[in-house]
């Protein structure tokens, strides 16, 4: 399980990919994405999806910490 308490799905697992995401990036960024994906043995799409999923776990961890601090202050107050 990932940090967000949801199963970590490989980008090629799960629901059928029916949606499309287009992004304009610089040539340098496109090159970086392609090189990074190749180093991990992934397609550029799988690399981007895995990166987004990993970043999402960081957001969940931040939200849990913020809630814990608010709860702590409520208990003191």
pLDDT in tens, 43-64: 999 999 999 988 877 666 666 6
**Exposure on the CB side of residue 29, measured as CA atoms within 13 A:** 5
Domain count along the chain:
1
Q: What's the CA gap between 44 and 25, in Å, rounded?
A: 13
Report the pLDDT value the prediction gives residue 16, as an integer from 0 to 100. Answer: 81
74 lies in a domain? yes
Range of the domain at 60: 47-77
Mean pLDDT score, 63-77 = 70
60 lies in a domain? yes
The alpha carbon of 6 is separated from its chain's Cα centroid by a whole number of angstroms, namely 12
pLDDT digits (tens, 9 = 90+) for 9-42: 555 566 788 899 999 999 999 999 999 999 999 9
Report the pLDDT value the prediction gives residue 65, as an integer from 0 to 100. Answer: 67
Whether the model pTM is above 0.85: no
């Amino acid at each position: 399980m990932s940090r967000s308490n949801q199963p970590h799905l490989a980008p090629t697992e799960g629901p059928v990919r029916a949606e499309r995401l287009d992004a304009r990036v610089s040539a340098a960024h496109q090159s970086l994405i392609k090189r990074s994906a190749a180093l991990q043995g992934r397609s550029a799409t799988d690399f981007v999806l895995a990166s987004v999923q990993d970043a999402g776990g960081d957001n969940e961890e931040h939200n849990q910490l913020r809630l814990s601090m608010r709860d702590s202050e409520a208990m003191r107050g």
